Amino acid sequence: MSDYITFALPKGRILEDSMELFAKIGITCPEMKEKNRKLVFENKEDKLRFMAVRATDVPTYVEYGCADIGVVGKDTLLEQDKDLYEPLDLNFGYCRLVVAEPKALSEQDDPASWSNIRVATKYPKVTERYFASKGVQVELIKLYGSIELAPLVGLSERIVDLVSTGATLRDNGMVEVETIAEVTTRLIVNRASMKTKHERIRQIIDGLEKVIADTPKISQ
């Protein structure tokens, strides 16, 4: 398999856009279109292998060299802080990592007066760093999804989560307070693969870079 290039792709919302982008530089995997429960797919002719993994696991597969290349949101990279080469912003998956709170709370209360702020999030490390940099002590509550529910039921006063259209915040009576980071999808590469498979990987990066430069930027 060492002459193969292996990709770790997230199973969720990023997968389709990633495969569309790769197709523009001739990287395809017809086997992936078959409806089954397989997790590894091959394009034997072009010596390409694709693994479908949880979005949060992509950096791990790439860091350990099980995958040469990965596709992942900047939010995940900020949270995990792994030793990876990050050569390209793929210019899709636009969203923002924000601090938000219930609208009612925002109107009634001055957060500066709170002695203990509980913040629910999927991103505890980013959240801790962010509040520490502002000199604010917070209690972190790690959740794995539906973060906007936490303040509605008294689990936390605030949340740190992704916002794209704003519909989830709005429909749950919440408002944005501050932006922590702008998020897009990134290409990541294993550091050793960058040396041992330099020519093929460089070709992929250069090809994608050209496609991205020629594609008008779609703002969310």
Ligand X SMILES: O=P(O)(O)OC[C@H]1O[C@H](OP(=O)(O)OP(=O)(O)O)[C@H](O)[C@@H]1O
Ligand Y SMILES: Nc1ncnc2c1ncn2[C@@H]1O[C@H](COP(=O)(O)OP(=O)(O)OP(=O)(O)O)[C@@H](O)[C@H]1O
Under the binding rule (CB under 6 A), the answer on residue 68 touching ligand X is no
Q: What does 75 bind: ligand Y, ligand X, none (CB cut-off 5 to 8 Å by kind)?
A: ligand Y
Cβ proximity to ligand Y: between 76 and 91 the closer is 76
> Which segments of the chain does DSSP mark as H helices, in order?
14-23, 58-63, 74-80, 103-108, 124-133, 149-152, 167-171, 191-196, 198-214
Q: Write down the least CB distance from residue 208 to ligand Y, Å.
A: 18
Contacting ligand X (CB under 6 A), which of 146, 196, 203, 215?
A: 146
Under the binding rule (CB under 6 A), the answer on residue 164 touching ligand X is yes
Stretch that binds ligand X, among 46-54, 99-107, 140-148, 193-201 (CB under 6 A): 140-148
- Beta-carbon contacts of 120 under 8 Å, excluding residues fewer than 6 positions away, are 141, 142, 143, 147, 150, 151, 155, 156, 158, 159, 160
Q: What does 183 bind: ligand X, ligand Y, none (CB cut-off 5 to 8 Å by kind)?
A: ligand Y
- Beta-carbon contacts of 182 under 8 Å, excluding residues fewer than 6 positions away, are 74, 94, 96
Q: Write down the least CB distance from residue 41 to ligand Y, Å.
A: 18
Q: How many chain residues touch ligand Y (CB under 6 A)? A: 15
Is the CA virtual torsion 209, 74, 29, 65 positive or negative? positive
**Cβ atoms of 183 and 72 closer than 8 Å:** no
Give the footprint of ligand Y on this chain (CB under 6 A). Answer: 10, 12-14, 54-56, 73, 75-76, 93, 95, 162, 164, 183
